[in-house]
Amino acid sequence: MKNIIFLAPPAAGKGTLSEMLVEKYGYGHISTGDLLREEVKAGTPLGKEAEGLMKAGKYVPDDLIIKLISNRITKPDCENGYILDGFPRTLPQAEKYDELLKELGKDLGVVIFIEIDKQMAIERACSRITCPKCGRIFNKYSNEMKPKVEGVCDDCGTELTQRADDNEETFIKRFDEYMEKTMPLYDYYKEKGVLETIKAHSSKYDTFNEAVAILEK
């Protein structure tokens, strides 16, 4: 299976699509945010270093993130392919990741850009509700994504909440910041010949089918 990097603006459905692909193909799913939290919780040397930086209000440097990624992609569940979720975010990270792959003898795979209309992204974000316990995302106005019981997580029965930054003004800032800071990666991977584009459809299954077509062609 091809390794995947997703480039996706906020509310494009990257998390949902990742879950569907993990279920179909057995991909390892790698979120840098989750990796950091796991290392901190486990009290590893990397986790302690990251925790100290975060408590001091500092960014976790790229070299530390790369170490976390290196440890993770060499684990058994990534042997047949993995999805990188939230990484790389900048050109320096992308270049460091290329160096890591060369060292490990691993293939970059495919970079999939999820294209979404800005207004659709706003509507999705402002109707998104999340389980604070297990992290599952729902959408109260979508027949496909709404919980079976209003306001309650299907998986663990926890009361669902809405993120404080899922309001229109804050979301627009996040969306615009993403496009400005992360979109140079679009050109970087396009020049490498590994970039594919799919659309964020109103139905997650249509988006999923486009991704599957890319992975299986």
Q: Of these residues, 37, 67, 89, 190, which one is catalytic?
A: 89
In a domain, 104, yes or no: yes
Tell me the pLDDT tens digit for each residue of 143-186.
Answer: 888 999 999 999 999 999 987 767 888 889 989 988 888 889 99
Q: Is 72 helix (H, G, I), strand (E, B) or coil?
A: helix
Q: Is 72 a catalytic residue?
A: no
In a domain, 44, yes or no: yes
Q: Of these residues, 67, 140, 163, 199, which one is catalytic?
A: 163
Q: What helix, strand, coil percent values describe the chain, rounded to 5?
A: 50, 15, 35
Tell me the pLDDT tens digit for each residue of 90-112.
Answer: 899 999 999 999 999 999 999 99
Q: For residue 55, what are the domain limits?
A: 4-116+181-216
pLDDT of residue 157: 95
Where residue 11 falls (left for φ over 0; alpha for ψ -120 to 50; beta otherwise) is left
In a domain, 208, yes or no: yes
d(CA 72, CA 30): 8
d(CA 113, CA 185): 10
In a domain, 109, yes or no: yes
In a domain, 138, yes or no: no
Q: Is 167 helix (H, G, I), strand (E, B) or coil?
A: coil
Contact 116, 107 (CB under 8 A): no
Q: Is 163 a catalytic residue?
A: yes
CATH code of 19's domain: 3.40.50.300
Q: Is 37 a catalytic residue?
A: no
In a domain, 167, yes or no: no
Number of domains in the chain: 1
Q: Is 14 a catalytic residue?
A: yes
pLDDT of residue 200: 95
Average pLDDT for 60-72: 90
Tell me the pLDDT tens digit for each residue of 21-52.
Answer: 999 999 999 988 888 888 888 888 888 888 88
Q: Of these residues, 96, 174, 190, 199, which one is catalytic?
A: 174
d(CA 202, CA 12): 10
pLDDT of residue 165: 67
pLDDT of 123 higher than 80: yes
